[in-house]
């Protein structure tokens, strides 16, 4: 079965997925696309040479002869197409976050449960990254004992857009740490605090406080600090280190070759995120497509995972405003998930 896809949103991440599907996934084809800006849809088709129909509304795309919808639009534009796709019994792969607030997550969860079929996968691609999967294996094996504390770093060279704001640091960047730490520790969050460090004078976004430090505490007592910056200047840099009772597990400092010459030791650092998680992006889409094609239950991050991330992100944004710890509470997890 060739899975027929409808794409909503034609920005940078959409381009990554389109190229991946065209080059690497033989059992899927993007047959329809929609973007609020017609020129963006036209340019994506022109640049990637895909044969897709341009739709002029979300409704038109949903009603096309498609098996699944890929949502790569802005965070605040996810809710409508997701609910409409569920109503039409279409599978959905949506980029993170599921939506940009917990209230709307509950609407999606209710709709999905009412249909009695899991239709949604959220694009938390780090779960598909081989290095994070190795960390997960080590932690569940018990080799390092119970996890006690941790450290994360999430730096990008420059802000993705000129309108990247303080709260975007949570929903567009730290949202990845929210999901992956929840997955690694297999524990719920208890509280979160965001603090603003000394501000980077090279930051040109007036509505962005940069850098930020997030301290998150788990129910079982573990604490993880995450350092966030959109203005590293030197490149894209992600780190995760977990300290246990009898050992430490961490990502490789920079997953690239080391070169020694002319009295120097060096490693290349990529400018953006596309190369670092290239394989993870490929694997998450491949998993989604294969399960849709075979009508197997979806296995990737669910709407419930999206809800956990949204509740935590809402608390983090609240902490940004008062610089104080904020307690986190979640609804009871439905048996459906």
- Parallel, antiparallel or unpaired: strands 189-196 and 147-155: unpaired
**In the chain, count of helices (H) and strands (E)?**
11, 15
Contacts of 297 (CB under 8 A, 6+ apart): 118, 291
Tokens representing 192 are 């979160």
Domain ranges of the chain: 3-125+279-302, 127-271+311-327
**Per-residue tens of pLDDT for the chain, all 337 residues:** 899 999 999 999 999 999 999 999 999 999 999 999 999 999 999 999 999 999 999 999 999 999 999 999 999 999 999 999 999 999 999 999 999 999 999 999 999 999 999 999 999 999 999 999 999 999 999 999 999 999 999 999 999 888 999 999 999 999 999 999 999 999 999 999 999 999 999 999 999 999 999 999 999 999 999 999 999 999 999 999 999 999 999 999 888 888 999 999 999 999 988 889 999 999 999 999 999 999 999 999 999 999 999 999 999 999 999 999 999 999 999 999 9
Tokens representing 174 are 């730290």
Name beta bridge partners: 327.
191
pTM higher than 0.75, yes or no?
Answer: yes
**Whole-number Å distance between alpha carbons of 282 and 28:** 13
Q: What topology does CATH give the domain 3-125+279-302? A: Rossmann fold (3.40.50)
Q: From the CA atom positions of the chain, what is the Rg in Å?
A: 20
- Parallel, antiparallel or unpaired: strands 120-123 and 223-229: unpaired
The yes-or-no answer to whether 3-125+279-302 and 127-271+311-327 have a common fold is: no
- CATH H-level, domain 127-271+311-327: superfamily: Dihydrodipicolinate Reductase; domain 2 (3.30.360.10)
């Amino acid at each position: 079965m060739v899975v027929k896809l409808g794409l909503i949103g034609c920005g940078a991440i959409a381009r990554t997925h389109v190229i991946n599907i065209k080059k690497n996934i033989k059992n899927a084809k993007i047959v329809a696309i929609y973007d609020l800006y017609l020129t963006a849809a036209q340019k994506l088709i022109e640049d990637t040479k895909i044969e897709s129909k341009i739709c002029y509304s979300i409704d038109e795309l949903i009603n096309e002869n498609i098996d699944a919808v890929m949502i790569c639009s802005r965070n605040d534009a996810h809710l409508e197409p997701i609910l409409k796709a569920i109503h039409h019994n279409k599978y959905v792969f949506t980029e993170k976050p599921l939506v940009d607030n917990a209230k709307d997550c509950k609407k999606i969860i209710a709709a999905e449960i009412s249909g009695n079929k899991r239709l949604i996968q959220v694009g938390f691609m780090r779960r598909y990254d081989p290095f994070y999967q190795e960390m997960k294996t080590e932690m569940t094996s018990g080799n390092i004992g119970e996890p006690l504390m941790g450290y994360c770093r999430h730096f990008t060279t420059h802000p993705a857009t000129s309108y990247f704001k303080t709260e975007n640091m949570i929903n567009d960047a730290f949202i990845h740490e929210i999901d992956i730490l929840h997955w690694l520790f297999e524990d719920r969050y208890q509280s979160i605090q965001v603090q603003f460090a000394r501000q980077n004078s090279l930051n040109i976004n007036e509505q962005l406080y940069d850098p930020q430090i997030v301290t998150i505490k788990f129910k079982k007592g573990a604490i993880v600090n995450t350092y966030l910056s959109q203005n590293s200047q030197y490149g894209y840099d992600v780190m995760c280190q977990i300290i246990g009772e009898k050992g430490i597990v961490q990502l490789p400092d920079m997953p690239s070759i080391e070169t020694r010459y002319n009295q120097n030791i060096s490693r290349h650092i990529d400018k953006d995120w596309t190369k670092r998680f290239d394989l993870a992006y490929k694997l998450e889409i491949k998993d989604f497509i294969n399960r849709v094609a075979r009508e197997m239950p979806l296995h990737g991050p669910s709407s419930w995972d999206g809800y956990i991330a949204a509740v935590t992100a809402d608390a983090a944004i609240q902490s940004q405003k008062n610089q104080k710890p904020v307690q986190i509470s979640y609804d009871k997890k439905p048996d459906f998930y």
